[in-house]
Structure 1
């Protein structure tokens, strides 16, 4: 074990750099670079969790509501999401992903997962087991 990752601060530093590098490599696999990272994140959230208000989407994505309003407007212009009246409160709107948006998300997922699956083939069974356990822990960290 590297001396740097024996402390929590050292581990935090190594994780920050490593996860950031992996995220950049995965972002480079995006099939449609004209969709910004924030727009892509909003699409993924809508595909995974279903329709929600712009405020709920902003909260889930950890951005300010005005930023999400701009993201939704751009996605709507491109036909990737649509706004509909809230069934219980006509003054509010819900944002839902369109079939075109869903297709973009699926293509993005397929491409990134294919790239990552190819990298995983280079690992030993033991390394893959370690990553399975680490993935659960990283997911918990990301949710906290």
Structure 2
């Protein structure tokens, strides 16, 4: 019973996440970006320059896999790699003006798509789900 409940919940969680992402990704796709690329741009926009490893960590991706995301953004002129001023061994990923522009142009319609999609839940249900997901995401099962 415990296993069945956990597996059922897991399938629903993965399906819901993929479904919401598919329904809300229009503005990101229209900007010619993947969700990982837009996520990286959004993080740099709000947090500022970060080492590639920290940027990958914020998106729960391996640094090796996220390198391709960064490289593709760099090829489009949306980010650049710069040596950290206080430690020349560290390479920071920073948003270019073009990257900033694409985030600012895409964000309003993306946020509206998310708000509209999540309106299927009441505000209280959204708060409850957020609390449960936070608890699940922070679970330390060691």
Aligned length: 136
* Residue 130 (structure 2) aligned to one of 132, 135, 142: 135
CA distance in 2, matches of 1:13, 1:122: 20
| Cα distance change, pair 15–73 in 1 and its aligned pair in 2 (3 A) | closer
- Give CA-to-partner distance per residue, 1:83-133, whole Å, 9 cap, x none: 22111221321111123212222333211222233445666xxx2321222
Taking structure 2 as the reference length, the TM-score comes to 0.75
* Matched-pair contact (CA < 8 Å) for 1:31–1:107: no
Which one of 67, 70, 94 corresponds to residue 68 of structure 2? 70
Segments of 4+ in structure 1 off by > 3 A?
A: 6-9, 116-123, 139-144
Aligned to 1:109: 107
| CA distance in structure 1 between the partners assigned to 2:60 and 2:33 by the alignment | 18
**Deviation of 1:8 (Å):** 3.7
Equivalent position SS for 1:90? strand
Deviations 1:18-67, CA, capped at 9 Å, x for gaps? 22211111113425352223222211221232211112222322333333
Which structure has greater strand proportion? 2
What is the RMSD computed on CA atoms of the aligned residues? 2.6
Pick closer, same or farther for the CA change 1:120–1:26 going to 2, 3 Å: closer
Q: What is the correspondence of 1:52-91 to structure 2 with a 5 Å cutoff?
A: 52-91=50-89
Offset of residue 82 of structure 1: 1.7
Q: TM-score, normalised by structure 1?
A: 0.74
Query: For the residues of structure 1 that align with 2:32 and 2:88, how far apart are their CA atoms?
Result: 33
Pair 106,74 (structure 1): closer, same or farther in 2 beyond 3 Å: same
Gaps of 5+ in 2: none
Q: Distance in 1 between matches of 2:45 and 2:135?
A: 21
